[in-house]
Amino acid sequence: MKKTITTIACLALGSVMSLGIAIPNAHAARGVKVDCAQVMQDLNAGKKPRAIATEMKISTSSVYKCRRRARGTTVASAAHGKTAHPKASASPAATMNH
């Protein structure tokens, strides 16, 4: 009985260990520099974010981050609908002649 339980435990442990090796780490790309210039060239050429991510072996969120940076917005300000560097313009009231 002990031999059967030990064998089953060893097989279960071996299965878990082999799955850990076979499944890629979700954070494996951490620290890899993303070429945002290339991402933007591909986006401007009409490629889809998913296709760019697959081709460059990066996440789709990295593609969207590059696009957001190129537009000059931050994550926090994008959530509020504001740009990071608003363009200054004259007030309509200041330009009107009385």
**For residues 47 and 10, which has the higher predicted lDDT (pLDDT)?**
47
CA distances from 74 to 7, 33, 80, 82, 83 (A): 55, 19, 10, 9, 7
- 58 falls within a domain: yes
- 88 falls within a domain: no
Range of the domain at 46: 32-72
- 55 falls within a domain: yes
Predicted pLDDT of residue 79: 56
- 60 falls within a domain: yes
Mean predicted confidence (pLDDT) in 62-69: 95
- 44 falls within a domain: yes
User: How long, in residues, is the chain?
Assistant: 98
Residue written as tokens 């296709």? 51
Q: Report the share of the chain in percent with pLDDT over 90.
A: 38
In angstroms, the CA 55 to CA 67 distance is 16
Predicted pLDDT of residue 24: 47
- 27 falls within a domain: no
Mean predicted confidence (pLDDT) in 41-49: 96
What is the tally of structural domains in the chain?
1
- 90 falls within a domain: no
Choice among 11-20, 38-47, 58-67, 75-84 with the minimum mean pLDDT: 75-84
On the question of pLDDT at 80 being above 60, the answer is: no
CATH assignment at residue 47: 1.10.10
